Structure 1
Amino acid sequence: MLIDPSRSALLVVDVQTGLMPVIERADQAVTEIAWLAAVAEHLAVPVWLTEQYPEGLGPTEPRLRDALPQTVPVFIKQHFDACRAADFVAHLEASERRQIVIAGAEAHICVLQTALGLRQRGLEVFWLVEGCVSRRLDEAKLARERLLQAGGVAVSADMVAYEWLETCSGETFREIHRRLLKPRAGRPLRLAP
C-alpha cells in the first residue's frame, strides 16, 4: 500500500529537550523528522506532536519546533501510549486520517506503545526508521520488529516524501524538489540497524 497524502499524517512522539542528549543518533533523527515535516507542510499533510510530561522532560526540541508552523498541535500526555490521551484520540478521529507515519523517542517505549495503540484502532502505521530512536540502537530495532509483527510498515523519509508527491510533474514537485529534495540528495542516509 502506498502512503496517500490525503489520508495520512505525521505523528512526532516526544522529541523533547530532556531526552535528546541521551538518545543515540538524536541529531540525525531530528534532522530527518524536520525535513519530512517540511515536505508534509508543503503538501498539506498534518503534523502532530506529543510531549510526555514536559515539566520533567522539557518541551519539543527547538530545532524541530522551529521548523514547524506554530499552529501544529501539541498533545501533552502522561501515558506512554498517546492513544490513551482523550484530546489526542478526539483529534485523530476528527481528522479522519487512517495512515500515520510515526517517529520519535523513545522508540521502544512511547513510540512503540503509541504505534500499537494506533494499530489496535485499525490504522495503518508507518515506522520512520531513521526517525524512531532510543538510548540504545538495539531497543529501537527491537521496537521496529515488534511493530512489523503487529502489521506496521518500516519506511524511510525518502519513501514517504516520494509517495506523498506521487508524480514528478507539476509545480508542486518542482518547488519541493528545488527547496527540499535536491539540497538533501547529497547527504548520506544512515538507517538504524
Structure 2
Amino acid sequence: MRLKREQSLLLIVDLQVGLIPVLEGGEQAVVEARWLGGVAGVLDVPVWLTEQYPAGLGGNDPRLRESLEGARFWDKTRFDAHAEPGFAATLSASGRRQIVLCGAEAHICVLQTGLGLREAGYEVFWLAEAAVSRRSEEASLARRRIERAGGWTVSADMVAYEWLERCDDARFKDVHRRFLKPRSPRSLRFFD
C-alpha cells in the first residue's frame, strides 16, 4: 500500500510537555513528528494534533505548536481520538483515507486511535520512530497489534519520499533544501 499525499493526513497524538520527559524516545518523537509535519506543510498534507487532559499533562510540545502552521488542534477526553465528538465527521469530510499516526503513549491513545481508525475503514500508517511509550516494550507491542489489525509500520523518510513521488517536481527541491537533511542521530530500534 503506497502513501499518496492527496489521500494522507498526519495525526500527532498527545505529544505533550508533561509526557515527553518520561517517554523512552520522547525527544526523538518530537523531532521526527515536527520534521514530517514540516514536509506535510509544504506538500499540502493536513496535520492534526490532539491533547489529552491538557490541564494535567500540559499542552502539545511548543516546538510542534510553533512550527506546524495551519495544523488543526483537538482537545480530547477519550483515549481513541476517532471516538471524540466531531472528530470522525470532520475526518470523513476531509476525504483523507490514509492516516500517518504517531504520538504518545503508543500503547494507549495512539493504539486506540489507530484501532478506531481501522474499524472505520481508514488505512493506518504507524510512524515507528515517533510512536512512543514510557517503556519501549509497550510501544513495540502496540506496533505489532496495529499491524495485526491491518496497519503498516513506516519511517518518516518512507512517508516523505512516497508523498514526494519524484525528484523533478519543484516542491521536491523546496522540501529537499529545507527538510531532507540529517535531523539528528536516531535509531530505528522501534522496528524490532
Measured against the shorter chain, the TM-score band is over 0.9
Provide the secondary structure at the position in 2 that maps to 1:56.
helix
Give the TM-score of the pair, scaled to structure 1: 0.96
Q: Which residue of 1 aligns with 2:43?
A: 43
- How does 1:1-193 map onto structure 2 within 5 Å? 1-69=1-69, 71-181=70-180, 183-184=181-182, 187-191=184-188, 192=190, 193=192
Q: Matched residues, percent identical?
A: 57
User: Can you give the 5+ residue segments of structure 2 that lack an aligned partner in the other structure?
Assistant: none
For residue 90 of structure 1, report the CA deviation from its aligned partner: 1.9
For residue 189 of structure 1, report the CA deviation from its aligned partner: 3.4
Could you tell me which amino acid in structure 2 is paired with residue 145 of structure 1? R
Q: Deviations over 1:108-147 (max 9, x none)?
A: 0000000000000000000000000000000000000000
Provide the secondary structure at the position in 1 that maps to 2:5.
coil
Runs of 4+ more than 6 Å apart: none
Give the TM-score of the pair, scaled to structure 2: 0.96
Cα RMSD (Å) of the superposition?
Answer: 1.0
Provide the secondary structure at the position in 1 that maps to 2:18.
coil
Give me the whole-angstrom Cα distance separating, in 2, the residues matched to 1:74 and 1:87: 12
Give me the whole-angstrom Cα distance separating, in 2, the residues matched to 1:55 and 1:137: 26
Contact 1:144 1:154 in 2 (8 A): yes
Give me the whole-angstrom Cα distance separating, in 2, the residues matched to 1:72 and 1:175: 20
Give me the whole-angstrom Cα distance separating, in 1, the residues matched to 2:153 and 2:53: 28
Provide the secondary structure at the position in 2 that maps to 1:86.
coil
User: Can you give the 5+ residue segments of structure 1 that lack an aligned partner in the other structure?
Assistant: none
Q: Deviations over 1:24-71 (max 9, x none)?
A: 1111110000000000000000000111011111100111211111x3
For residue 93 of structure 1, report the CA deviation from its aligned partner: 1.1
Provide the secondary structure at the position in 2 that maps to 1:6.
helix
Provide the secondary structure at the position in 2 that maps to 1:108.
helix
Count of residue pairs the alignment pairs up:
190
Contact 1:75 1:87 in 2 (8 A): no
For residue 170 of structure 1, report the CA deviation from its aligned partner: 2.3
Could you tell me which amino acid in structure 2 is paired with residue 10 of structure 1? L
Contact 1:39 1:176 in 2 (8 A): yes
